[in-house]
Amino acid sequence: MQPLVVANWKMNTGISDASVLATMVRNQLHEFNGVDVVLCPPFIWLQEVASILEISDPRIKLGAQNCYPEKDGPFTGEISVSMLQELCSYIIVGHSERREHFGENNEFINEKVHACLRYNLTPILCVGEKQKSENSQKKILKDLIECLEGVTKDELAKIVVAYEPVWSISTATQGDIASGEYANEVCELIKKEVGKETPVLYGGSVTSLTVDNYISQKSIDGVLIGGSSLNANNFVGICKKARGE
Ligand code: 13P
């Protein structure tokens, strides 16, 4: 399977930063083979980034960082999957920052997974332990199984799972970062649960200097990038390394 590199811009960029970043990435990845790339800007810049990517190679896809599982209705401030369907191919669901700051639980994330599948969008389902402990792998599997409740075998092939250990997110300059071997061990466990057809990504402080450690592992099919996706040169560097340059 071709490596998948996903950029999660999180709550960053103004309109001009978003346009410049998307344009630079698009121009540098023009006719780029050997890796699938997804950009996930904030909701409010999706349309702008879509119009920038439109005149390029359809291999750079667009993703949203979140969704609401209902189709429409009185849900002030929310964005449904059916609205996103026009613009996106992927939606990140279950990110640890949403669990932490917005109290999202496995049941609600499961509803989002089903909503994505209903509208033929690929959910990028995030799982990962808060702290490394003897029980972390058990907890990750429990979360994974609960978030995938009711998902059929065929549907599993339309999902991406991202393993993001919370203790390794945004820590690139301060310390604890998951090793490639450790990340691989957990991704292997996830793969055993979801099957070979489901891409499993690693995310957490990946940079162009460290991406090789992860992408070279047998059970890691790609990477989910936060901070390093906000700089076009760094992000393009990661994409190039991911395809073995
Ligand atoms: P960082 O790459 O900034 O650690 O973020 C990872 C992440 O949370 C991507 O979803």
Catalytic residue flag (residue 134): no
Ligand 1 closest atom vs CA 169: 4
Q: From the CA of 178, how far away is ligand 1's center (Å)?
A: 12
Report the b/e string of 105-115 with b at 16+ CB within 10 A: ebebbbbbbbb
Ligand 1 closest atom vs CA 162: 10
Distance CA 71, CA 83 (A): 8
Q: From the CA of 210, how far away is ligand 1's center (Å)?
A: 13
Q: From the CA of 203, how far away is ligand 1's center (Å)?
A: 6
Contact 28, 60 (CB under 8 A): no
**Number of residues that make up the chain:** 245
Residue having the nearest C-alpha atom to atom 7 of ligand 1: 226
Give the bridge partners for 125, in sequence order: 93, 161
Q: From the CA of 225, how far away is ligand 1's center (Å)?
A: 5
Ligand 1: lining residues by beta carbon, under 6 Å: 8, 95, 164, 169-170, 203-206, 224-228
Mutate which of 169, 202, 205 for ligand 1? The one with the most ligand atoms within 8 Å of its CB, which is 169
| 79 backbone dihedrals φ, ψ, rounded to 5° | -125, 125
Please tell me the predicted confidence (pLDDT) of residue 155. Answer: 98
Contact 117, 152 (CB under 8 A): no
Pairing verdict, β 160-163 and 122-127: parallel
Report the b/e string of 230-240 with b at 16+ CB within 10 A: bebeebbbbbb
Task: Work out the burial of residue 201: count CB atoms within 10 Å of its CB; fewer than 13 is exposed, 13-18 middle, 19 or more buried.
Answer: buried
Distance CA 25, CA 9 (A): 13
Domain count, the chain: 1
User: What CATH number is associated with residue 26?
Assistant: 3.20.20.70
Residue 183: both structure tokens together: 């990340």
Please tell me the predicted confidence (pLDDT) of residue 214. Answer: 97
Per-residue confidence of the chain (245 residues) as pLDDT tens digits? Answer: 899 999 999 999 999 999 999 999 999 987 788 999 999 999 999 999 999 997 656 779 999 999 999 999 999 999 999 999 989 999 999 999 999 999 999 999 999 999 999 999 999 999 999 988 888 999 999 999 999 999 999 999 999 999 999 999 987 666 689 999 999 999 999 999 999 999 999 999 999 999 999 999 999 999 999 999 999 999 999 999 999 88
For residue 164, how far is the Cα from the chain centroid? 9
Mutate which of 13, 96, 225 for ligand 1? The one with the most ligand atoms within 8 Å of its CB, which is 225
Please tell me the predicted confidence (pLDDT) of residue 56. Answer: 57
Which of 81, 57, 84 lies closest to 71 in space, CA to CA? Answer: 81
Range of the domain at 177: 4-242
Residue 71: both structure tokens together: 């189709």
Contact 163, 127 (CB under 8 A): yes
Please tell me the predicted confidence (pLDDT) of residue 31. Answer: 75
Q: From the CA of 173, how far away is ligand 1's center (Å)?
A: 13
Mutate which of 4, 170, 207 for ligand 1? The one with the most ligand atoms within 8 Å of its CB, which is 170
Ligand 1 closest atom vs CA 225: 2
Catalytic residue flag (residue 97): no
Between the alpha carbon of residue 23 and those of residues 36, 50, 54, 60, 223, the distances in Å are 17, 11, 11, 12, 21
For residue 125, how far is the Cα from the chain centroid? 7
